[in-house]
Amino acid sequence: MSWYTVQNIHQIDSPALLVYPNRVRQNIESAIQTAEGIDRLRPHVKTHKMGEIIRMHVEEYGITKFKCATIAEAEMIALNGGKDVILAHQPTDTKIPRLLKLMQNFPEVKWRTLVDNEATARQLSKVWKEADLQINVLLDINNGYHRSGIKANQVAFNLYELVVELPHLEIGGLHVYDGHIHHGNFEERKDWAEQDFVGVDEFVKQLKEASFEVPLIVAGGSPTFPVHAENQAVELSPGTYVFWDAGYGEAFPDMDFEPAALVMTRIISVLDENRVCVDLGHKSIASENPLQNRVRFLNFNVEKFLVHSEEHLVLQSPDAKIAKVGDVLYGIPFHICPTVALHEEAAIVREGKVTEFWKVVARKRKISV
């Protein structure tokens, strides 16, 4: 029996998200090994969005620092034992009071967020002053991805100085996400990551020469995780490692992670001796990549993906000759993070059987605040 085969799969409707906790543990342990311990690990929870996996990190491995993208993810972390949370999205008008409410509801948690402009910094200071509380703030540095953040220049220096001076703000340091670096060869990936970090190092030097503290630098995601792991001055915030996926598995063979979450689908029609249709539509598998990069099936030979719509995926396959309606297919998502967010729950597979279900609780935009 293959590692992914579920003996009681007849009890599970399709399409479904399957999670294999023992493989999750292996991935966490590999991340700890890469980071040479837990002290610098700050996992991003956006991949799994599950409270049970937060508790696995906290209770089994002692990892209590996390990063997240949404208020719901932040609340999920606090509800499940996280003690130090970075909301890695600069909060807007509607999110600022929600973040404040989280701080008031969970005073035992260290709350942090990002800024990249003066107006937001001043707004945070005003709101937290009115609440008589203090919020930890990191500058979001753009070192080449050009998605968010501020370039490490004099404007950033002035903003850093302002955050230091504003009441009820505590300077947290820098957040640097280099999501533009996806080179498959590790040495090439390392060269790019280190090159794009030169400006950050110079900026830190400039701040320290001006007698400013830089308490924390949070760097990278999963692709550059092993690169930044060599830099003892930074915290590490990979996310995809926990489940891994076909996209990263094919792009980064040097990284020691294995798929720990799959999609399960069934053949719902055998069109002819070359084509079948399965019930894995846009609503159950991430579909932002080109058609040929949606899923990699483990037990079905696919020559070509032909049609993908809301509830259907048509496959060209030599296996169609022997396929039957109802046959179960197991697949590694090409992009696991948005795939997880399409499912309300995950079927948990232990020793070849589904034993329980975990809610993908932070797929919601709101839990309580």
DSSP assignment of 249-290 equals: HHH-TTS-----EEEEEEEEEE-SSSEEEES--TTTS--SS-
Phi-psi region of 311 (alpha: psi -120 to 50; beta: other; left: phi over 0): alpha
| pLDDT in 10s for each residue of the chain, 369 residues | 899 999 999 999 999 999 999 999 999 999 999 999 999 999 999 999 999 999 999 999 999 999 999 999 999 999 999 999 999 999 999 999 999 999 999 999 999 999 999 999 999 999 999 999 999 999 999 999 999 999 999 999 999 999 999 999 999 999 999 999 999 999 999 999 999 999 999 999 999 999 999 999 999 999 999 999 999 999 999 999 999 999 999 999 999 999 999 999 999 999 999 999 999 999 999 999 999 999 999 999 999 999 999 999 999 999 999 999 999 999 999 999 999 999 999 999 999 999 999 999 999 999 999
Gap between the Cα atoms of 334 and 163, Å rounded: 40
Residue type, 311: E
For the sheet containing 65-68, what is the strand order?
Answer: 65-68, 84-87, 110-115, 135-141, 169-176, 217-219, 235-236
* 197 neighbors 177 (Cβ within 8 angstroms): no
User: In this structure, what DSSP letter does residue 57 have?
Assistant: I
Residue 87's DSSP bridge partners are: 68, 113
**Closest by Cα among 56, 13, 38, 7 to 242:** 56
Model confidence, pTM: 0.97
Gap between the Cα atoms of 266 and 280, Å rounded: 8
* 255 neighbors 342 (Cβ within 8 angstroms): no
Tokens standing for 80? 């499940």
Maximum CA extent, the chain: 73
Burial track 172-210 (b if 16+ CB lie within 10 A, e otherwise): bbbbbbbeebebeeeeebbebbeebbebbeebbebbeee
Residue 67's DSSP bridge partners are: 44, 86
Residue type, 176: V
Q: Is residue 292 exposed (0-12), middle (13-18) or buried (19+ Cβ within 10 Å)?
A: exposed
Gap between the Cα atoms of 81 and 65, Å rounded: 10
Gap between the Cα atoms of 57 and 18, Å rounded: 19
